[in-house]
A and B are shown apart, each in its own frame.
Chain A
Amino acid sequence: MKSAVIVFPGSNCDRDMAEALKLVTGRAPEMVWHRETSLPDGIDLVTIPGGFSYGDYLRSGSMAAQSPVMRAVREAADRGVPVLGVCNGFQVLTEARLLPGALMRNAGIAFVCRDVALRVENSQSVFTSGYDSGEEVVIPVAHHDGNYQADAETLDRLEGEGRVAFRYLGQCNGSARDIAGILNPAGNVLGMMPHPERAVESAHGRTDGRRLFEGLLEAVSQPA
């Protein structure tokens, strides 16, 4: 599997993402700087890592969403290439309108940095096929703006179409309906606040994130 990690000024989980991809896929991803106007040929997976792109200026993810590379990411997403945005990457995807809604300041104002329990709500996507539906997993979060909000109609649509991929078990950041991760209508774009790349080897203390990458590898490797 040929993967890419998009790097913005202020990204700081790009190396974690690269290590996780390398560990699971056996192949180091291409690191793609935000000024690039195209992605490497034959890319099977695009990841947008966590961090504080552009210092979270204006709104988290707002500047990065306008970067030249995001046009290429949008085109890849339109072609059906899986796009995974984690934490700041999720914020970038909502700001780029590749995913609906917005990620606002945490309801409790405080930065939340801890392991959280999640329920896998949909195991049918390319991102979640390594899990069982309804399964509970523990993956760490570390964010200030993870409070997912959208209007009631959008939330109902997300729920009705099975596009809520992960849900917090219990209060985390004030997110509407405890939403932790959502899919686009085609199911090939996932944004999530928890960091699966920080739970892929025993030294991390937890490995529940690893199956996300393993599932992706399997899904992408299968002939269409």
Chain B
Amino acid sequence: MAPYLRSDGRPMKTRVYVTLKNGVLDPQGKAIHHALEGLGFGGVRDVRAGKLIELDLEPDVTEDAVEEMCRKLLANTVIENYRIEKAERAA
């Protein structure tokens, strides 16, 4: 697997989005939804709350390693999905 590298060889900041699986009840999302309605915001059909975890990685960290981080700790795959997004570090 290729390591996460920018074209100039510098490491990138990687984002991991952790979200609840479909069908898993989300009490926090529900509360947020309720609060939005309380504030008078209409038209919100559903709210799901998740997490964003940013990783500042050394250049030699592979995609496989990030996958493993997600499976072992960052997400609980019993109830959560994760998505890894490579993003360049702000200059």
List residues of A whose CB falls within 8 A of some B CB: 58-59, 62, 66, 94-95, 100-102, 104-109, 147, 149-150, 174
- Residue with the highest number of chain A CB atoms closer than 10 Å, among B30, B31, B72, B73: B73
| Chain A CB within 8 A of B1 CB | no
Flag if B76 contacts A59 (CB, 8 Å). yes
* Chain B residues near A105 (CB-CB < 8 A): 27-28
Cα A109 to Cα B47 in complex, Å, equals 15
B28, chain A: closest CB distance, angstroms? 6
* Chain B residues near A109 (CB-CB < 8 A): 27-28, 30-31
Flag if A58 contacts B73 (CB, 8 Å). yes
Flag if B24 contacts A66 (CB, 8 Å). no
| Chain A CB within 8 A of B52 CB | no
Flag if A107 contacts B25 (CB, 8 Å). yes
Interface residue from B25, B31, B72, B78 paired with A66 (Cβ < 8 Å): B72
What's the A-B contact tally at a CB cutoff of 8 Å?
37
Q: How large is the interface on B (under 10, 10 to 19, 20 to 34, 35 or more residues)?
A: 10 to 19
Flag if B27 contacts A108 (CB, 8 Å). yes
| Chain A CB within 8 A of B84 CB | no
| Chain A CB within 8 A of B36 CB | no
* Chain B residues near A59 (CB-CB < 8 A): 76
Cα A58 to Cα B27 in complex, Å, equals 16
Flag if B25 contacts A174 (CB, 8 Å). yes
* Chain B residues near A174 (CB-CB < 8 A): 25, 27
* Chain B residues near A107 (CB-CB < 8 A): 25, 27
B27, chain A: closest CB distance, angstroms? 5
Flag if B31 contacts A62 (CB, 8 Å). no
* Chain A residues near B30 (CB-CB < 8 A): 109
Cα A101 to Cα B28 in complex, Å, equals 19
* Chain A residues near B73 (CB-CB < 8 A): 58, 62, 66
* Chain B residues near A102 (CB-CB < 8 A): 76, 78-79
